[in-house]
Amino acid sequence: MKVFRCGDVVPGCERDFLGADRDDILRQVAAHAVLDHGLPTVDPDLVRQVEENIRDV
């Protein structure tokens, strides 16, 4: 499994995302970024930041 902590990219956010692989995490984070952080879309820079902070668990 892999985990991404949103707080690593957005200070103060407490959400963690567990996923089977990178695509699984990115799908969840994309929905969270739009719904909870009000981003209009998920741009390549955000994807890069998420990928850099995904850890194995």
CB of 24: closest distance to Zn ion in angstroms?
17
**Taking CB under 5 A as the rule, does residue 42 contact Zn ion?**
no
**Taking CB under 5 A as the rule, does residue 6 contact Zn ion?**
yes
Q: How many residues sit in the footprint of Zn ion (CB under 5 A)?
A: 4
CA distances from 25 to 7, 36 (A): 14, 16
Q: How far is CA 51 from the centre of its chain?
A: 8
Query: Is beta strand 55-56 parallel, antiparallel or unpaired with respect to 16-19?
Result: unpaired
> What tokens appear for 38 in the block?
């009000």
Position among 2, 5, 15, 22 found at the interface with Zn ion (CB under 5 A) = 15
CB of 3: closest distance to Zn ion in angstroms?
14
